[in-house]
Amino acid sequence: MHIVMIGTGYVGLVSGACFADFGHQVTCVDKDASKIDGLHQGRMPIWEPGLEAIVSHNVQRGRLTFTTELKPAIDTADAVFIAVGTPTRRGDGHADLTYVYAAAKEIAGALVKPAVIVTKSTVPVGTGDEIAKILKDNSAPEGTSVASNPEFLREGAAIRDFKIPDRIVVGAEDDHAREVLREIYRPLFLNKAPILFTGRRTAELIKYAANAFLATKISFINEIADLCEVVGGDVQEVARGIGLDNRIGPKFLHAGPGYGGSCFPKDTLALLQTGESYGVPMRIVGSVVAVNEERKNKMADRVREALGGTLQGKRIGVLGLTFKPNTDDMRDAPSLSLIAKLQEGGATVAAFDPVGIEAARPMLKDVDFTSDAYAAATDADALVLVTEWDEFRALDLKKLAGVMRGNALIDLRNVYEAGEVIRAGLDYRGIGVPAVTAA
C-alpha cells in the first residue's frame, strides 16, 4: 500500500521506516527543509537505536522517500498518517493541535481521490471529529475516512515496540477505514499481535489513559520511596514484593527523580484539561502531576544534604542528562530542574551524557560539558547519577573516589549497592534506601 506520513519527528520517522520495512511504499513529508535534506544525506533528526540502519535499508530498496511537498506525494496514497507534534499549549495545559489541524486542511486541499486519514499524533478526545469536519469543509473527496491509530513507542526501544507491539489500537467509524488499517498492519498478524478495533473517541482516550496510568505507578513508588527513607525500609524490595503480584506487575515501579520525556508530562496535563472541559475532574492524575513536579524540584535538596547543608562554592558532577537512556530527548528531563536548582544554590556543574550533550547545550547554561564520566567527577564535591545509561552501571568506583574532591555519590536511579560504594571510599545516598557513610 502507499502510505504518506506527515511529520518526520520521533513518531513519524520510526513509523514510516517500519511500515516501509514491512514492504509498503512510504513517503515521509515535512515542512522543515533542513530535516528533509539531512534525511536525504542519511542524517537522522533523532537518536534512536537501529533507526539509521532501517531508514538506510529502505531508502536503498526504494520503499522510503522524503519530501517537503505534500501534493505530489498524496496523489496515490491509500492512507495518510498525521504524525506532527502536539505540545502542551502555553498557559493552560491543553494539547496544542495547531499543527494537526493545519495538516488536515492541507490534506483536504491536496487529495485527488479518497483516502484514510489517520491520526498517529497523541490527541485529545474529539480531535478526529474535528479533523473530519475540516476535511468536509475543505472539500476533501467523498469517501475520505478518518481514523485514530495511537502510538505506544518507548524511546530507546521504538523499533522493537513497533514490530513486536503489545497491541495495535485502531479507532474507526466505518468499515473501509478498518479494512485499510487491517491491511497496513497485516504483516504483524504473523506475530499474532493483538489488534483492537474501537470507536475513534475510545482510541484517542486509550492513549492518554495508558500514559496516565504508567505515570501514576511512577509517582506512587516515588512516594513509597520517601516513606521508606523515613521508616527504614528498602523501596527496591518493596517494589519487588508488590511487583510479583501479577495484578500489579514490576514495570514502572523503579523509584527515581521523577518522570520526564515527550509523553508523560504533556499527556497527563492534557488529560487533566480534557476532564475539566467535560466536567469530570481527574483527581488521581492531578495528584500524580503534582507529586512528580515536586519531586523533580526536590532532587537538589538531596545533594545539599549530602554536602552538609550548603551548595555554595561546591562543584557537582552530573552523570546523565536525557530523561531516560538510549535517547537524546531532553524534554522535561529531571536533569534540567536538578541542575537549575544546584546553580541557584551557588554550585558549579560539570556534566556528561553519552548522546544528549548537543541537545542539552541550548537548555543548560554555564555547565561544563565533559568527555566522559570521570572527567565530570574530577574535583567534584559530589557526583549525581541521574540517567541510568549502561556505561554508568560498572564505573570504576575507586577511580571516581580518586579524582573527586569530595566523597558523596548520590544515586538517583539505585544503580549501585551501598556496600560496593562504601568499599571504594565514597558515601552513598540512593532513593528509598538507607544512606551509608564511608568509615
Please list the active-site residues: 263
DSSP 436: B
The edge-to-edge listing of strands for the beta sheet with 145-148 is 64-67, 25-29, 2-6, 79-82, 116-119, 145-148, 168-172, 195-198
Angle between helices 200-231 and 283-306 in degrees, nearest 10? 40
Kindly report the backbone phi and psi dihedral angles of residue 209, in degrees, each rounded to the nearest multiple of 5, phi listed first: -65, -40
- C-alpha cell read off for 201: 473517541
Q: Is 243 exposed, middle or buried (0-12, 13-18, 19+ CB in 10 A)?
A: middle
Element (H, E) at 409: strand 408-411
> Do the beta carbons of residue 283 and residue 272 sit within 8 Å?
no
> Do the beta carbons of residue 119 and residue 226 sit within 8 Å?
no
Torsion angle, alpha carbons of 410, 363, 296, 346, to 10: 60
Count of other CB atoms within 10 angstroms of residue 111: 22
- C-alpha cell read off for 274: 480534557
Phi-psi region of 291 (alpha: psi -120 to 50; beta: other; left: phi over 0): alpha
* Gyration radius from the chain CA atoms: 24
- C-alpha cell read off for 374: 570521570
Which residue intervals of 9-138 are DSSP H helices? Answer: 10-21, 33-40, 51-60, 70-74, 98-110, 127-137
66, β-bridge pairs: 28
Give the separation between CA 276 and CA 142, rounded to whole angstroms: 35
Measured in whole angstroms, the distance separating CA 279 from the mean position of its chain's CA atoms is 29
Residue type, 300: A
